[in-house]
């Protein structure tokens, strides 16, 4: 059985693997270009970019995720925000954890996510739709699920992926642009870069998806189970997920780089029961109906 402690250690190892792979990948590209153009400066820039990219992703990826989602700090004076803040605080205290920063996303879709590199630097965001649409016990179930991601260190690898996926898109774009900015005398080099740029541009979405799937959808099942251990009430989260699955609304500010962060896929119709084979394979979340069945099975 995978325990939260084992999951936390695995996520730390996975984070170092992703960051190390990114480092090697960028340096390899820089070496290839520097060899092609006989310009060592390109390699130096690639090395600097890879280290800066990893440093930035580790210390600022949570800020990037919150910014991309349009999240703002909750207002303690707002009655509805106050309820959510109290729920998160009580759960954190019960687990002996620091209380994460809590944010609100102005969006009628029902969803939530956690982000940050560790429990001391964690944040949790709820949409206005989920705050308005759930009962207190249901919201508590969602908060416990997200707090489990923090406790299990899922957020470390999940959040860093947001920035690394973004960097992959930037690199693909640089390849394409670079091919058209080389001088006429470098027609052979230009052709090579153009081909490499096209190939990388085509493959970059699959590379990004592979990185996201490397996180493993099992983390959602574990967070569901860990959340129930906190609340001792499986029906709270099960009922919340049921309402989320029935809303059929996408989160407006969600993108492919941040989709894996949310408690449920933020895209339209992604968690319906009748998904096709490929969609089920490449989804960042397990079927929500299966998660609900698992939770309700805990009551038997």
Q: Residue ranges per domain, the chain?
A: 19-64+164-214, 69-155+217-297
pLDDT of residue 278: 46
Average pLDDT over residues 52-64: 79
196-248 pLDDT, tens digit per residue, is 666 666 666 666 666 556 555 678 888 898 899 999 999 999 999 999 999 87
pLDDT of residue 291: 93
Write the DSSP symbol of residue 83.
Answer: H
The three-state secondary structure class of 109 is: coil
pLDDT of residue 106: 96
What is the band of 136 on the pLDDT scale with cuts at 50, 70, 90? very high
Instruction: Quote the Cα angle for 174-177-180, to 5°.
Output: 145
159-176 pLDDT, tens digit per residue, is 666 666 666 666 666 665
Task: Check: CB of residue 123 under 8 Å from CB of residue 146.
Answer: no
* Residue with more model confidence, 277 or 45: 45
Task: Check: CB of residue 15 under 8 Å from CB of residue 157.
Answer: yes
**How much of the chain exceeds pLDDT 90, in percent?**
36
What is the band of 275 on the pLDDT scale with cuts at 50, 70, 90? very low
**How much of the chain exceeds pLDDT 70, in percent?**
67
CATH of domain 69-155+217-297: 3.30.2010.10
In whole numbers, what is the pLDDT of the chain averaged over residues?
A: 79
pLDDT of residue 205: 62
Q: Out of 83-92, 179-188, 213-222, 228-237, which region has the weakest mean confidence (pLDDT)?
A: 179-188
Catalytic residues: 146
Task: Check: CB of residue 187 under 8 Å from CB of residue 234.
Answer: no
Between CA 6 and CA 170 the distance in angstroms is: 34
Between CA 295 and CA 239 the distance in angstroms is: 9
pLDDT of 102 above 90:
yes
pLDDT of residue 277: 47
* Residue with more model confidence, 156 or 278: 156
pLDDT of residue 84: 96
Between CA 240 and CA 264 the distance in angstroms is: 11
Between CA 125 and CA 71 the distance in angstroms is: 7
Report the C-alpha dihedral over residues 76, 80, 85, 88, rounded to 10 degrees.
180
* Residue with more model confidence, 42 or 99: 99
Task: Check: CB of residue 238 under 8 Å from CB of residue 86.
Answer: no
């Amino acid at each position: 059985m995978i325990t939260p402690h084992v999951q936390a250690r695995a996520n730390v190892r996975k984070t170092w693997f992703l960051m190390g792979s990114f480092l090697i990948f960028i340096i390899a590209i820089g070496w290839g270009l520097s060899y092609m153009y006989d310009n060592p400066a390109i390699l130096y820039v690639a090395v600097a970019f890879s280290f800066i990219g990893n440093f930035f992703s580790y210390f600022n990826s949570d800020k990037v995720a919150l910014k991309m989602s349009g999240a703002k700090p909750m207002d303690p004076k707002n009655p509805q925000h106050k309820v959510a803040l109290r729920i998160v605080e009580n759960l954190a205290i019960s687990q002996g954890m620091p209380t994460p920063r809590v944010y609100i996303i102005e969006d009628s879709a029902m969803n939530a996510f956690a982000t940050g590199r560790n429990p001391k630097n964690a944040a949790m965001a709820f949409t206005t739709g989920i705050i308005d649409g759930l009962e207190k016990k249901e919201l508590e179930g969602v908060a416990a699920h997200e707090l489990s991601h923090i406790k299990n260190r899922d957020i470390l690898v999940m959040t860093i992926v947001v920035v690394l996926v973004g960097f992959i898109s930037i690199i693909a774009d640089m390849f394409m642009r670079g091919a058209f900015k080389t001088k006429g005398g470098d027609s052979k080099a230009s052709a090579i870069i153009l081909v490499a740029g096209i190939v990388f541009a085509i493959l970059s979405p699959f590379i990004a998806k592979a990185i996201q799937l490397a996180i493993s959808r099992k983390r959602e099942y574990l967070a569901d189970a860990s959340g129930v251990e906190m609340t001792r009430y499986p029906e709270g989260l099960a009922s919340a997920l049921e309402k989320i699955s029935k809303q059929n609304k996408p989160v407006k500010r969600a993108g492919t780089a941040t989709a894996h962060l949310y408690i449920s896929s933020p895209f339209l119709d992604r968690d319906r029961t009748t998904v096709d084979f490929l969609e089920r394979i490449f989804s960042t979340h397990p079927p929500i109906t299966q998660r609900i069945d698992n939770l309700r099975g805990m009551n038997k």
